[in-house]
Amino acid sequence: MRILITGGTGFVGQALCRLLAKAEHSLAVVSRNPERAERALGAQGITVTAADTPLAFKDWQPEAIVNLAGESIAGRRWSDAHKRELRESRLNITEHLVMLCEQLAVEGHPPQVMVSGSAMGYYGAQPKAGQPGDVEIDEQATPHDDFNHRLCRDWEAAAMPVTDSGVRLAIIRIGLVMEADGGTLAKLLTPFRFGLGGRLGDGRHYMPWIHRHDLIRIIERLLTDTTLSGAFNASAPHPVTNMGFTHALARALGRPAILPLPATALKLGLGEMSTLLLEGARMVPARLEEAGFRFDYPTLDVAFADILGKD
């Protein structure tokens, strides 16, 4: 297939490009710096065409789209200006992809499918372990209305009009992506290796997670399985609390994890952004499992054994 990708030079995007290129798909990437994107992916042996807007690929006639673009939500404190950047970086490019699909539909050849990003933040802050209402969160769960939820809700809503152009839409609500070369785990490895890790706050909030290998397999499945549409929780089937995550990582590294970081210190240092570290949802991939998807790394112990065994 001819596949157009936004966010193709990111932590997930580059791994996805490698997988799709190996499967002999033709790839194009939307990037704010097309030349740098072509160099970065070309250095990995991936042949891509890049441009700074999705509309530049109208004549290329993509058959599928993967939409992963968006400013890092954990990049810096959430000022009002940064919140606007978080929204605009997701909504603007998604709206341009919708325009591209509309134009291609008018010409009689819309893309077959768009896989569009979202995040576990869609569900907002959910009860912690042991609290009333502590239940598994599937795709039908009622969200808690906060900034994280509104950001993901509006991002998903921006993608919905592609269905009017005859495009199958699959939305992935992604958990914390695990690999050693980026994401949350890369930030934690150094302090944990020196025995300086510990729980965050009381450690009872949930941390939905997924091995990057399984995430890109999910994206590939959603691209090719014409029976799948709508929202999917892209997280491993065994969610853990922050305390469980802390113990699993310390166990995998053979190090203690005895230095908790109080919630008050996180709130003081990070402001509203501290909710990313202190709140979560017991998210489960109900629809993926119903569709027969099987995770290669269903538990943290198995995931950490693979990731840390590469060092």
How many of the other CB atoms lie within 10 Å of CB of 47? 11
Could you give the 3-state DSSP secondary structure of residue 171?
Answer: strand
**Max CA separation in the chain (angstroms):** 61
| pTM of the model as a whole | 0.96
pLDDT tens per residue, range 146-167:
999 999 999 999 999 999 999 9
Cα separation, 16 vs 4, in Å, equals: 12
pLDDT tens per residue, range 181-192:
988 898 889 999
- Of 84, 74, 59, the C-alpha closest to 151 is 84
Q: Is the pLDDT of residue 53 over 90?
A: yes
Please give the share of the chain, as a percent, with pLDDT higher than 70: 99
- Can you list the domains of the chain with their CATH numbers? 2-177+212-236+281-295 (3.40.50.720)
Strands 240-241 and 209-211: unpaired
Instruction: List the structure tokens of 115.
Output: 């896989």
